[in-house]
Amino acid sequence: MGGRDLSCYSESYREARTKLLAESANAGLPVISYMLPRLRGPEHEELATDIVEIIPASATRLVIVSTGVHGIEGYAGSAVQVEALRQGLLANLPDGTGAALVHGVNPWGMAHYCLANEDNIDINRNFLPAFEAAAPAGGIDPARTGGDIVSGESTHRSAGGNPERGLAGDLHAALSRGQHANRYGLFFGGHKPAWSNTTWRGILARYARGGCRRIIHVDIHTGPGTHGRAELICNFPQGTPAFDRARTIWGDAAIPPAAGGPPAPSAPTGSLASTLPDYATSITVEFGTKPVDEVLIALIHANRAFADGFRDQKLRARAMRLMRDAFCPDDRAWCRSVIDQSFGVIRKAVDGFQAVDTRPP
């Protein structure tokens, strides 16, 4: 285990996508690509959400593994998908079962080392049933208030004098739910569906039309939390059928958002998982990297660089270093752990159809 080849990891979006497409071709698997219109990556490369399909014609059950909803977090998820293809993790699925690897849900954010998309929209707060009903809560504008946070002063104040609590308290809880008032602030959910939103919904519709009506979904994320530890967060309340199914598949490791502690104080409003049909089962796998305050500092720098249009190269370079360290650290043990734990979660998802009834009524 300790000697696992880590060449599945990439430094750029172009490299990650090239590896995914190469491994798909090596395995003889089809790829469906949804191209992001008009925009390019930092190397002038095309940007796309790609889907590697391992779906026999007889499939009525589908495991979906999605990555890159939060842009920069896609590097860890991409590595999992590339290594899964190399190792044939999904090559011998049970009869009637297929799999779809959705790579780069937010390709612009992944390519530019940002959490948000090209319009500063946090995609995981963008899946709202009605944008007019979005809560008008304001968000942090790093251009005005980020200095205190970066210096640690507002972190101390927000903790009521307790530096250990910091932004892991009420302020972080409010930010985690997202906001729809400040388009330049952090965790902005948008005023209308983003391209990634409509693309994801189109992907779900594609599989519904194709007869895959039994779905288990794994969404890979990274961010604040205990370094190297995976939290399996079900975005549905305890006592609901979806939560009970998640517990059946992944056991007590499946937790509601509030049980995750400060890094996951509450379910985000407008999350990707909310788009799934009632009969689907979904889990968010969140790999811890750093304390929440350090991750927020990285996000503030990235937000400032974005607001500057990436003109200040020193600010841009610093933001990229901080974001990479906060969401896909250069730590071999961490990287191996992400692959190994993700494989375990995906194997349980494949086996989960035998354990729970996820058929529509």
DSSP codes of every residue in 271-288: -GGGGS-TT-EEEEEEEE
| SS3 of residue 253 by DSSP | helix
* Residue appearing with tokens 């992001």: 36
**Contacts of residue 232, Cβ cutoff 8 Å, sequence gap at least 6:** 246, 250, 253, 254, 255, 283, 284, 285, 286, 345
Report the CATH number that the domain containing residue 108 is assigned in CATH: 3.40.630
Q: Classify residue 115: in a domain, yes or no.
A: yes
| SS3 of residue 295 by DSSP | helix
Q: Classify residue 146: in a domain, yes or no.
A: no
Q: Classify residue 156: in a domain, yes or no.
A: no
Q: Classify residue 4: in a domain, yes or no.
A: no
Q: Classify residue 170: in a domain, yes or no.
A: no
Among the residue ranges 149-158, 269-278, 319-328, 335-344, the one predicted with the least confidence is 149-158
pLDDT digits (tens, 9 = 90+) for 22-44: 999 999 999 999 999 999 999 99
Q: Residue 144 pLDDT > 70, yes or no?
A: no
Number of domains in the chain: 1
Q: What is the dihedral of CA 7, 9, 11, 14, to 10 degrees?
A: 90
Q: Classify residue 162: in a domain, yes or no.
A: no
Q: How far is CA 355 from CA 252, 280, 348, in A?
A: 15, 13, 10
Mean pLDDT of the chain: 87
Q: Classify residue 361: in a domain, yes or no.
A: no
Which contiguous run of DSSP H or E holds residue 305?
helix 292-307
Short-list 84, 68, 76, CA closest to 36: 68
Range of the domain at 118: 13-139+177-355
Q: Classify residue 171: in a domain, yes or no.
A: no
pTM: 0.89
